[in-house]
Amino acid sequence: MVLAKIFDFALLTEWIDKTLNSFMPEWLTVVTERVLIGLVLLLTYSVLALFYIYFERKVCAAFQCRLGPNRVGPWGLLQSIADMFKILIKELISLKYTDKFLFALAPYLVILASMLAFAVLPWGKGLQVINFNIGIFFLIAVSSIGVLGILLAGWSSNNKFTLIGALRSGAQMVSYELSIGLSVLTMVVFCGELNIVDIVERQSDLWFIFSAHIPALIAFIIYLIAGTAETNRGPFDLPEAESELTAGYHTEYSGIHFGFFYLAEYLNLFVVSGVATLLFFGGWMPLHFPGCDGFNAIMDYIPSVIWFIGKAVTISFIIIWFKWTFPRLRIDQMLALEWKYLLPINLVNLVIMALIVVYGLHF
């Protein structure tokens, strides 16, 4: 089995568990491990966000014949750290005539949703927080908490522009959640598993995008469109269409509260790309083709974490590419796209996938 060569992070985590258990009571071990996991996740979360801000700015600059950040640190690498620091020390402006509690709660809800989804991603072999038997279901469930935060933010700011932004966002996210759910369901039908670890293991021979061929490709394209809409990114950035609604639902936020929206937006981009990686491109699984043992073995030398992050970043690049190329859709056109085109195609695709599974027409 080629898989044996990939480093299993479970060895590392089990070793940590054993070492801690050797000199600690069990309850303390559990507490320490939880705290450690939390810290590592938070750290990864912020580092990835900083990377994404830098990445997007560089990519967008390249599209626009510019250089992008190049003054702070080598190649401008410290630019996003400086920006983040600036956001941290900025004043939190409190508004009159608003619901202060809900106004403050909204950014936390948004960031909570993206963090929860972030936590269950399969980072590498043996590297996930929990091995959940309904993992993918959980992921979809928590990622839709975010829309609640956006609605709250728009409503509690007591501003017409934020309210319109929030309502647009609500309509958009609720609609596109359907497409995301259905395209995920299509792949779940093919795989027969909800467990994230099992989904990845099933792709050890061939990624789903190849093994389930046409329906998987359709599901992937729909997922990519819906995922772009779900993360409120261009060409679906209507909730914060800056030329129409200034900044949409987060117009009134400042300082770190605004920073939370900002971070969550970038991390949602990573989560969406991560899920696409998981469902279509084998998660952390290296590129394998049945029968090409030499090729497969070479691929195994690349660590699984790099496989996962690399694939996710590549998909994010495509989504960023959309944003800096296309103009923005109008709200009714966007809803028409979802309800008139994506949803029916998705449903038909689901049926095709079921037929393919039943008749075994896949690789």
Partner 1 sequence: MATIQETITRLFPDATIEQNPIAQVSVPAQQWHKLAYELRHNPELDFDFLVTIVGMDWADKMGCIYYLTSTKTNAHLSVKVTTADRENPSIDSVSHLWAIATIFEREVYDFFGIIFVGNPDMRRLFLSIDWKGYPLRKDYDENPEVNPVTTENERQTDFTTLYTRDAYGKLVAEEKRVFEPDDFVVNIGPQHPATHGVLRFRTAVDGETIKKIDVYMGYIHRGIEKICEKLTYPQTLHFMDRLDYFSAHPYHHCLCMTIEQAAGIEISRRAQVIRVLMDELSRIASHCLFIGTYCMDLGATTMLFYTLRVREQILDIMEKTCGARMTFNYECIGGVMQDLAPDFVDDVKALLDVIPGNIKEYNKIFTGNVIAKNRMEGVGRLSREDAIDWSITGPSGRASGWACDVRKTDPYSIYQELEFDEVVRTEGDAMARFKVRLDEITQSARIISQLIDNIPEGEYCVKVPKVLKLPVGSWFRTVEGCRGTFGIYLESDGNTKPYRLKIVPPCLPAAAVVDHITRGSKIADLITIGGSMDYIVPDMDR
Listed ranges 63-71, 125-133, 136-144, 250-258: which one lies at the site for partner 1 (CB under 8 A): 63-71
Q: Choose which of 122, 126, 170, 234 interacts with partner 1 (CB under 8 A).
A: 234
H-helix or E-strand containing 244? helix 242-245
Separation CA 357–CA 215 (nearest Å): 11
Q: Which of 184, 241, 312, 320 binds partner 1 (CB under 8 A)?
A: 241
Interaction between residue 30 and partner 1 (CB under 8 A): no
Closest to partner 1 by CB, 26 vs 332, is 332
Residues 291-330 that bind partner 1 (CB under 8 A): 324-330
Return the number of other C-beta atoms located less than 10 Å from residue 155's C-beta: 20
Candidate ranges 12-20, 96-104, 111-119, 239-247; the one touching partner 1 (CB under 8 A): 239-247
d(CA 361, CA 38): 43
d(CA 10, CA 216): 30
Nearest-angstrom CA–CA distance, 17 and 238: 47
Cβ contact 356:190 at 8 Å: yes
Which one of 139-147, 212-220, 230-238, 265-273 is the stretch in contact with partner 1 (CB under 8 A)? 230-238
Residues 67-96 that bind partner 1 (CB under 8 A): none
Q: Which among 182, 264, 266, 189 is positioned nearest to 226, based on CA atoms?
A: 182
Q: Which is nearer to partner 1, 173 or 197 (CB)?
A: 173
Cβ-based nearer residue to partner 1, 22 or 243: 243
Distances (CA, A) of 159 to 45, 138, 154, 229, 238: 31, 34, 8, 24, 17
List the x/- string, 246-285, binding to partner 1 by CB under 8 A: x---------------------------------------
Contact 320, 56 (CB under 8 A): yes
Q: Residue 284's CB: how many other CB atoms inside 10 A?
A: 28
Say whether residue 160 binds partner 1 (CB under 8 A). Answer: yes
Interior angle at CA 348, CA 233 and CA 208, nearest 5: 70
Please identify which residue in 5, 39, 40, 63 interacts with partner 1, judged by CB under 8 A: 63
**238 interacts with partner 1 by CB under 8 A:** yes
DSSP 77-101: TTHHHHHHHHHHTS--PPPTTS-HH
In the complex, what is the shortest distance from the CB of residue 66 to partner 1, in angstroms, rounded to a whole number?
7
Contact residues for partner 1 (CB under 8 A)? 60, 63-66, 160-161, 164, 234-235, 237-238, 241-244, 246, 324-333
